[in-house]
Structure 1
Amino acid sequence: MELKRKWTYGAIGSLAIALLILGGAFLGVLADRSGLKLPENVVLEDFSVNVNELTNTITVSGTGKVSGSPDLAIITFGVVTQADTAVEAMKENAEKMTSVVKALIQAGIPEEAIETTNYGVHPLYQHKMETPTIIGYRVTNEVRIETAQLDKVGELIDLAGESGANQIRGVTFTLSDTKASEMRDQALLEAVGNANTKADLIGGALSLTIKGVVHVTESSFYQPYQPYSYLREAAIDAAPTPIFEGDVDMVATIQVIYLFE
């Protein structure tokens, strides 16, 4: 019972404080507009400023879009082997992947630009009987490379296939950090201009004068171009692989709260 009484007193106290603050805010606005003189020990200027800032605002969004050519390609190759034992499958896989990596390095891909993204050893089961039995093992090894040699992407794919790669996970054309930053800045400038144009248009239509900016938020993104985003078997004896990169769009959006009078 005592705990309940303390909680009730606390709630009443909090409510009273809230009412005092709201009442002070109202008195501050009233005093400011009517010329009412308050005692010297009562300071309410902050309340009137906050009220004006919250009411005399409009919120506008802006969008900017910049298109550019990618300057970085990401290719994922895979080697899949299968044998009666795990050791045999792993050994064959290691030999083929080593051959692939050596060929890529000789073609000008730096070793630090080659990264293993997946490696797994999986038993293969036969389910014809009540108790599944292991009939072999499959080993998968995948590597990802990054290159700025966009005109050689097709050649690199063919080279990897000739060297032992039998899967291609995908090719992605994207932006380096430097170019992404440059395009983002351009898109943000366009978004700001778009927001300012909207604010001026709205302000003119409503006979308002934009006096400044209270708050701004921004975000940006881009979608890398992926001509091949699916798993396919590499055809070693096929014709040279033609690959064409498309443009990448950088989109920036902002939300601006303008102060007006």
Structure 2
Amino acid sequence: MARTITVKGIGKVSAKPDYVVFSMTLESKHKDYDKAMDMAADHIQQLNETLCGIGFEKGSVKTTNFSVRTDYDRVKDRNGNYQSVFCGYEVTHNLKLAFDFDMGRLSQALSAIAGCLSHPQLSVAFTVKDATAINEEMLRSATANAKKKAEILCEASGVTMGDLIAIDYNWGELDIYSHTRYDCCEDAMPLMAKSIDIDPDDIDVSDTATFVWEIK
């Protein structure tokens, strides 16, 4: 049976955010299904027109989730029994707007969205535009880390490291976002066309991969 050494490599990468992601939610509710859908359509049209008005291209806002559900209330009747009463159809539209990080552009977009008649719920996150480059650098880092560990262990044990036999890596999606929060109360958002410059915290990404080498 071949002798082997198994080592877990840890890859770490730090990157400066260069991309902004707006996550927005539009909600509409009406007892009539067609009117609820019409309201939802009007809301997204208003949002698109608002953003086009400050220079964003048509189609910049992308849908990440769209759902329609029925809403009921639990109401007690005169006999003390609870019954479900239909309240209407709820339409929820989750959207994303992403653009290159620029403080002036960010403030302008916040101010415009705050004045939009559709009044979307909004959160702001900072990330990188080229996530592939971050992933590749992290994998190279994990590989170099594992190889270095294996070489040290083999040298200390008086054995020779042979050929690489196997690599085990979980290809899950990494969370490549800065921990910086950018919050603003709803009342102040229309004033955000004038805002101070911020420098989002660097993005720190780490992941692991397992390597198996032959021992000669």
Provide the TM-score with structure 2 as the length reference. 0.72
Cross-structure match for 1:213: 164
Q: What is the CA–CA distance in structure 2 between the aligned matches of 1:219 and 1:114, rounded to whole Å? A: 31
**Percent pairwise identity:** 19
AA of the residue aligned to 1:182 = A
User: Which of 244, 247, 252 in structure 1 is aligned with 2:202?
Assistant: 247
Q: 2:66·2:91 contact (CA, 8 Å) conserved in 1? A: no
Larger Rg: 1
67, 74, 78: which is aligned to 2:25?
Answer: 78
Do the aligned partners of residues 233 and 90 (structure 1) sit closer, same or farther apart at CA in structure 2, a change above 3 Å counting?
farther
Q: Deviation digits for residues 27-78 of structure 1, max 9, x if unmatched? A: xxxxxxxxxxxxxxxxxxxxxxxx3xx22x2112211201102333322223
Amino acid at match of 1:255: T
Tell me what 1:170 maps to: 123
Deviation at 1:163, TM superposition (A): 0.9
Q: Pick the structure with more helix per residue.
A: 1
Structure 1 residues 156 and 202, CA gap change in structure 2 (3 angstroms)? same
What is the CA–CA distance in structure 2 between the aligned matches of 1:209 and 1:237, rounded to whole Å? 65
Within-5 A mapping of 1:1-261: 51=1, 54-55=2-3, 57-82=4-29, 89-116=36-63, 117-120=65-68, 122-123=70-71, 125=73, 127-129=75-77, 131-134=83-86, 138-151=90-103, 152-176=105-129, 179-219=130-170, 222-225=174-177, 235-236=186-187, 238=189, 239-240=191-192, 245-261=200-216
Corresponding residue SS for 1:208: coil
Consecutive unaligned residues of structure 2, counting only runs of 5 or more, are none
- How far is the alpha carbon of 1:202 from its aligned partner? 1.2
* 2:159 partner SS: coil
More strand by share: 2
RMSD: 3.5
Q: Partners of 1:120 and 1:68 in 2: how far apart?
A: 39
DSSP-derived class of the 2:59 partner = helix
SS of corresponding position for 2:204: strand
User: Is contact 1:218-1:252 (8 Å) kept?
Assistant: no
1:102 Cα deviation after fit:
0.8
Checking the alignment, whether the CA contact within 8 Å between 1:219 and 1:252 is kept in structure 2 is no
The DSSP-based 3-state class of the residue aligned with 1:163 is coil
Flag the 1:218–1:131 CA change in 2: closer, same or farther, 3 A.
Answer: closer
Letter in 2 for 1:118: F
Counterparts of 2:29 and 2:185 in 1: how far apart (Å)?
17
Higher relative contact order, structure no. (Cα contacts within 8 Å, ≥ 6 residues apart): 2
- Note the alpha carbon deviations across 1:155-195, whole angstroms, 9 max, x for none: 3233122112434253333333xx22222222222222222
Measured in 1, the distance between the counterparts of 2:209 and 2:91 equals: 48
Q: Count how many residue pairs are aligned between Structure 1 and Structure 2.
A: 204
8 Å contact 2:72–2:84 — kept in the other structure? no
Name the CA shift for 1:69/1:168 in 2 (closer, same or farther; >3 Å).
Answer: farther
- TM-score, normalised on structure 1? 0.62
